[in-house]
Chains A and B, each alone.
Chain A
Amino acid sequence: MTTNTIAPNRGSKFIPTALPLDDTRGIWAMWMVVATEAALFVCLFGAYFYLENNKDRWTYNTPPAEHWGWGMLGALIVSGFTIWLGDRAVIRQAYLRARALLACTLLLGLGFLIMEGFDYASHWATLTPYSNSYGSIFYTIESFDALHVIVGVLILGYVLAMPRYAPARRAPYRPYRVAAIYWYFVVIVWIAIFFLLYVMPNLRIYGF
């Protein structure tokens, strides 16, 4: 066996000043949270299709109305852009701009929740979670999404309230980026829900 030594880190005697401080662990954690949350939604979608299986034209006759859904989709996609721009602003140290964009994202998130309320109301007349298995899974998925958006809005509010965005030397290191990753996830989940639960049943009408 050979004995070779590891080259001293950057040749410095005092390593801490030579090496940067790690600020990536929070981001890793958030990616993994997103992965497991995504798996949760996959299970919910799986349940949706599993329950639909073997049913006699489950949603085909009365697909859910889409109009609020489109509005919600628009709001969330725009909010995804605003937070992305905000994240770039943080990197460029334009903290005021970042804060303003974060506020926009937050308002769009709130707008989404209000529209979701109207969306609920519009379905409730004909369908409740107690009507049948379709109602149960439909509202469960919706409410899970709403819960995620509520938590997302709270996270955004929290980051908005944070005193400063400059690089920190203590955790939380990059709250803005971490919140943004979560928010992208919320956006993507709504796109999936909207497509699977709203658009597809409406398209299928034309199939018959």
Chain B
Amino acid sequence: MSTTAVAQRLQSIWETPKSVWGWFATVDHKEIGIRYLVTAFLFMCVAGVEALIVRVQLARPDQALMSPEMYDQLFSMHGITMIFWYASPILSGFSNYLIPLMIGSRDMAYPRLNAFTYWSFLFSGILVYVAPFMGQAPHAGWFSYVPYTLYSYSPSRGMDFYAMALILFTISITAGGINFITTILKMRAPGMSINKMPLMCYSTMTMSFVGLFGMPALTAACIFLELDRRWGTHFFSPAAGGNPILWQQLFWFFGHPWVYIVFLPATAIVSMIIPVFSRRPIVGYSYVAVSTMLTGAVGFSVWMHHMFTDGMSDMTMSFFSAGSMMISIFTIVQIICWVVTMWKGRVVMTTAMYYALGTIAALVVGGLNGVVTGIIPLDWQAHNTYFIVGHIHYVLIGSNMFPVFAGLYYWYPKMTGRKLSETLGKWSFWIMFIGFNVGFFPMQIVGLLGMPRRIYTYPAGLGWSASNMIETVGAFALGIGILLSIINFVYSRRFGQIAGKNPWNADTLEWDLDSPPEPYSMVHLPTVITRHPLWDNHDESADPNDERILDNGRLTYITTWLDAKVVSIAKMPEETIAPMLLALTMALCLLALCFQLVYWACGGFGATLLVAFYWLWPREKGEEAL
């Protein structure tokens, strides 16, 4: 068969029907990955606007643009949206889109589950954004400490929505993690043994495992919260033997590993980009891989550093302080590997590389002030001040937002077929970078001067006013920088330079495909013999006898997890609307629970089960193929 005939055949097998039904039913990882990226980016824009309103309120002392309650809701929604519905999903978007292409597979291991994770992520986000229209948004910060969040202090439904939306969200993240783990361990191209897979796989796998063991703590905490709020139990009320600190323990047992979920895949983006633009393999591949995994593991033993001011034994304090210091070592290892890679290579300064360098700069600052906060006497002073707000933004913007932008500039050509404008990109970078530093560096100073976080205003004459004005100006500059990039995304979609297959001369397999890739990704499933498939002289898709086409249905290889020998062939499912329905019925069930509508909730649960059974029921159609 000629290649075009094969390609046409594959196209007809893998293509999603272009109809409304197909739009809702698609299971294509590329489509889902892009949806993840776009949705999470929109959440980021909403949360960014919320933050800017917060900054306007704080710009001058004694301002009263809004009520204190309004302020609480705004900064809470800002934190919740950024942490949950932007920072992690956007990375899932990258991983969803890229991992199968990087490892030479035609889809994720569970395509339908993949669709489900997207829909449940979307619906959980909608659920939390419904709350403001039902009277009140969550208003207790992103970690919602009890007792303030119990019924007596927060009687309206905002906190119920918080708890229920997060339960759906944990389901989404867990399902996504299961999918990534199986994909990475079972679907790698023949020959891509575990020590040859791209670093992105290590970080995605680590964050998936962390999710598997970390998310249940959040689920348990949210369930306890809801039971205490509405169903009369006593988990958190000391009068009846409960303990409010239980919330903190559970939340941070989830919360600190979560920090690594939003951090590790982002560092992996940097680890993918820096070698390409230093024109050499990364220095210390194994060190980066191992420190990634260790970060994930040790990340489970630092959670109490969020609670130093609660009071605890010296032993506990020392343990968690030491744990927090130790974890910085693994990050330092990664940073050193990046720097040495650049040092030993020949650096090409593209926009993506600018963002990667911005990451390193911000991460070092954020990391350093993180380490000092791990020192207990300092933490006692800095806790709950703007020093912490400065710290989290240095790490979150530094090690999540900048890498995300680096990733967008780097992979946009692959996703759309056109390059982003480099000039506009560099402008955007510099404005973002300067705005970010102007906006957040002074926070650390006012924090040390004693300005507490989460206050809606402050009197003049405390020495905070000038810094706060500067912070607001910086925040708006950051916003303008982001806006420039958004303009770039829209503009280059139509007018960008045509990218071709491999505009950056990069080394990983996704750059061997068309931009954007066909629904079937590749005609010949690739084989791999080194870590840098496109930089060695082995032809990945060489297949003279057409043995690796697999065009008898939606098929791809299953390989052994360690050394990637082909053991079997996986059959991939067709489009189905069941994942979306399942996410919808779950969301409705949880929505009913927000209002304590027991019968409706039971109805929703029943509907969820029915959809699940419909999803899993064996069907004869398609049995004959293969």
Contact = CB atoms under 8 A, between A and B. Distances in A.
Interface string B542-582: 10011110101001001000000011111101000000000
Contacts, number: 179
B537 A1 contact: yes
Contact of B622 (A51, A134, A170): A170
B220 A40 contact: yes
Nearest to A30: B178
B529 A50 contact: no
A144 B409 CA distance: 46
Given A3-B537, A36-B215, A130-B234, A51 B243 contact: yes
Given A15-B550, A140-B233, A22 B558 contact: yes
Contacts of B240: 131-133
B461 interface: no
Contact of B253 (A5, A43, A158, A162): A43
A208 B546 CA distance: 77
Interface stretch (B117-125, B509-517, B613-621): B613-621
B457 interface: no
Given A5-B527, A163-B618, 11 more contacts: A1-B536, A4-B529, A39-B212, A51-B241, A130-B234, A132-B241, A133-B237, A133-B243, A135-B234, A136-B228, A164-B618
A165 to B, nearest CB: 10
6 contacts: A13-B545, A21-B568, A24-B568, A39-B212, A129-B231, A171-B618
Nearest to A134: B241
A24 B570 CA distance: 9
Contact of B550 (A8, A16, A22, A24): A16
Contacts of A24: 186, 558, 568
Interface of B: 109-110, 113, 174, 177-178, 181-182, 186, 190-191, 212-217, 219-220, 223-224, 227-228, 231-235, 237, 240-243, 246, 249-250, 253, 527, 529-530, 536-538, 542, 545-548, 550, 552, 555, 558, 566-571, 573, 609, 613, 616-619, 622-623, 626
A24 B186 CA distance: 10
Given A129-B233, A132-B234, A39 B213 contact: yes
A4 B537 CA distance: 10
A169 B109 CA distance: 16
B242 A129 contact: no
Interface in A1-35: 1-6, 8-9, 12-13, 15-16, 19-22, 24-25, 28-29, 32-33, 35
Chain A interface size, as a band, is 35 or more
Interface of A: 1-6, 8-9, 12-13, 15-16, 19-22, 24-25, 28-29, 32-33, 35-37, 39-40, 42-44, 46-47, 50-51, 54-55, 58, 129-137, 140, 154, 158, 162-164, 168-172, 175
Contacts of B530: 1
Nearest to B616: A172
A170 B547 CA distance: 23
Contact of B609 (A29, A154, A170): A154
A12 B217 CA distance: 50
A22 B547 CA distance: 18
A55 B241 contact: yes
Contacts of B550: 15-16
A188 B371 CA distance: 41
A28 B181 CA distance: 9
A51 B190 CA distance: 51
A158 to B, nearest CB: 6
Contacts of A154: 609
Given A39-B213, A55-B241, A133-B240, A168 B609 contact: no
A18 B392 CA distance: 54
Of A28, A130, A135, A136, the most chain B CB neighbours within 10 A belong to A136
A25 B109 CA distance: 7
Nearest to A151: B609
B241 A25 contact: no
A47 B616 contact: no
A15 B551 CA distance: 10
Given A19-B566, A36-B212, A8 B545 contact: yes
A25 B237 CA distance: 44
Contacts of A21: 568-571, 626
Contact of B235 (A1, A3, A36, A133): A133
Contacts of B181: 28, 32
A119 to B, nearest CB: 19
Closest 10 CB pairs of A and B: A40-B216, A133-B241, A136-B233, A22-B568, A43-B220, A6-B527, A133-B242, A22-B570, A39-B216, A22-B558
Contacts of A135: 233-234
A8 B525 CA distance: 12
Nearest to A11: B547
A36 B213 contact: yes
B235 A51 contact: yes
Contacts of B217: 39, 43
Contacts of B618: 162-164, 168, 170-172, 175
Contact of A29 (B178, B538, B573): B178
Nearest to A2: B529
Contacts of A22: 558, 567-571
A74 B555 CA distance: 45
Contacts of A163: 618
A135 to B, nearest CB: 8
A42 B216 CA distance: 9
A187 B231 CA distance: 29
B547 A47 contact: no
A13 B543 CA distance: 11
Given A6-B529, A25-B110, A170 B235 contact: no
B174 A36 contact: yes
A22 to B, nearest CB: 4
A130 B230 CA distance: 12
Nearest to A41: B216
B553 to A, nearest CB: 8
B547 A13 contact: yes
Contact of A28 (B186, B527, B571): B186
Contacts of A47: 220, 224, 235, 246, 250
B486 to A, nearest CB: 36
B613 A158 contact: yes
